[in-house]
Structure 1
Amino acid sequence: MTTPAQPTDRALVWHTSSYSNGAGGECVECAITSTRAHVRDTKTVDGPVVTVANPAWVAFLRALKRG
């Protein structure tokens, strides 16, 4: 589900992708909680946030690792 960033999102601890080179490329940030994974564009921190349940996030990461 994609939603506009809410003020409560600021309480999340965001981590920038290790693939980010700081040159303004295609980068994302993630904030993981006990039940959800939140993903946003590094360049648009006040923009939309995609939020998914942790099982869906884990399945997504496993699929990426498998190629």
Structure 2
Amino acid sequence: GNLTLAIGIGVNLIAAPPADSVEPGALPPVSLAGETGIEIGPEDFLDLLAPAYPRREPSFTTYGFSPPRTPWRDA
């Protein structure tokens, strides 16, 4: 049969939750619009994100999420 992959991520496109709503020590939430001034809807964002995934899939399959997560957490 065919293999199917479901990926769940959260991207704050327009607004972010308050900083006190995340666990202690977590990075403060931000939004794409708040950080860049760019406002984009979910469908348009997915149209940009989906084509980028195949470049990352071999790394995810081999190493899991740790390689991209480490620089993000260290930012």
TM-score by length of 1: 0.37
TM-score by length of 2: 0.35
Between Structure 1 and Structure 2, the one with more strand by share is 1
Larger relative contact order (CA 8 Å, sep ≥ 6): 1
Q: Which has the larger radius of gyration?
A: 2
